[in-house]
Amino acid sequence: MNELKIKGVYKHFKGDYYIVEDIAIHSETREKYVVYRALYGNNELYIRPYDMFLSEVDKNKYPHVNQKYRFELQNIDSVNKG
């Protein structure tokens, strides 16, 4: 399974980018959710079950997708190297 990095930028397998804001816990079920924000448009805030966020792409449903995971952490280097 994939690892989760708070404040990490992730690419969704369909191409858009998101930043993980935090992890939330459902008050009654104790289920973990990933809280993440779109890095496009109105920068909407979303939640998704933790395990689903880190799951692999369904290759039966999306056979032409090259990305292994639904969301993949992006390595973003600084343009200021000095």
Q: Is the pLDDT of residue 79 over 90?
A: no
Mean pLDDT value of segment 63-71: 95
Q: Are 54 and 70 in contact (CB under 8 A)?
A: yes
Distances (CA, A) of 35 to 23, 39, 55, 80: 6, 13, 15, 29
Q: Could you tell me the strand order of the sheet in which 32-38 lies?
A: 45-49, 32-38, 17-25, 9-12, 71-73
Q: What is the mean pLDDT of the chain?
A: 94
All domains in the chain, ordered by first residue: 9-73 (2.30.30.320)
Quick one: which of 41, 20, 40 has its CA closest to 32? 20
pLDDT digits (tens, 9 = 90+) for 39-48: 999 999 999 9
**Between 15 and 2, where is the model more confident?**
15
Q: What is the pLDDT of residues 8-38, one digit of tens each?
A: 999 999 999 999 999 999 999 999 999 999 9
